[in-house]
Amino acid sequence: MEYRNVRVVSFDCGGTLYYKVEKDHVVFHKILKSLGYEFKVAEVKRALDNARVWWNSEKAKTGEVWTESSWIKLLQKMVSNLAIQDIASIARQLRERWLLEAEFRAYEDAMPTLNELKEAGFNLIIISNVSSGKNLKTYLRKACIPNFFDAIVASGDVGYEKPNPEIFREASRILNIPASHILHVGDKYEEDYIGAYNAGLKALLLDRNGLYKDKQCPKIATLKELINLLKKNPNNFKF
């Protein structure tokens, strides 16, 4: 694929720029323990997994997009699965405490790549399936990734989730830049590559762990390769 005329580089976040240090159920287990509940880690994991199965079923029926309200519904279901009585209060505390206690860490190739792209004159944006842009900024801060993005398009804010092409088109509208001048990079084939491609963006799949060897699409194993691809088209760079 040619990457000429790329003016904007769009990134997914989780699995692309940063990762969670601990699984959600591990964080929730610690919070519940601090609240006086002596569950085993496996019990909390099972309750959360079952709640996610329930949520996916509800989402399939209603088409609801993941938002802060969805988070609370999921946690209420998890609390109910653990047979805790004060469902609403405990779910609210779990959400509030998770936002404080969950840790995020940038991949080693994230900041060098973002810095080089920024210095080269590219506009940088984020397109992410996340409950809100506000929360996404918190995750980025926790991962020590500066908020030097020209736009943050969060599914919970715009009402569309990847791979729906509309979330990608929303980014094009916000920036007033043709979709064909935007390159989206993400780690999920359907959500990131197919979604962006169908919306008219250039698309690149980040396959850090070789999960998509069978997919015939442009792929990179590290973000460092992104710089090399763009440098092959020197009109993209503004040095």
CATH of the domain at 217: 3.40.50.1000
Is the whole model's pTM more than 0.85, yes or no? Answer: yes
Are 111 and 152 within one domain?
yes
pLDDT tens by residue, 37-85: 999 999 999 999 999 999 999 999 998 999 999 999 999 999 999 999 9
pLDDT of residue 209 exceeding 70, the answer is yes
pLDDT at 233: 65
Are 153 and 222 within one domain?
yes
Domain assignment of residue 1, yes or no: no
Mean pLDDT of 232-236: 60
pLDDT at 231: 78
Q: Which of 76-80, 86-90, 166-170, 235-239 has the lowest mean pLDDT?
A: 235-239
Are 54 and 139 within one domain?
no
DSSP characters over the chain = ---TT--EEEE--BTTTEEESS-HHHHHHHHHHHTT----HHHHHHHHHHHHHHHHHHHHHH-PPP-HHHHHHHHHHHHHHTT-S-HHHHHHHHHHHHHHH--EEE-TTHHHHHHHHHHTT-EEEEEE--S-HHHHHHHHHHTT-----SEEEEHHHHS--TTSHHHHHHHHHHHT--GGGEEEEES-IIIIIIHHHHTT-EEEEE-TTSTTTT--S-EESSTHHHHHHHHTSGGG---
CA–CA gap between residue 75 and residue 162 (Å, rounded)? 23
pLDDT tens by residue, 124-167: 999 999 999 999 999 999 999 998 899 999 999 999 999 999 99
pLDDT at 235: 56
Instruction: Report the CATH number at residue 76.
Output: 1.10.150
DSSP characters over 115-160 = HHHHHTT-EEEEEE--S-HHHHHHHHHHTT-----SEEEEHHHHS-
Are 82 and 119 within one domain?
no
User: Which tokens sit at 85?
Assistant: 């009585």
Domain assignment of residue 3, yes or no: no
Domain hosting 93: range is 24-101
Are 14 and 54 within one domain?
no
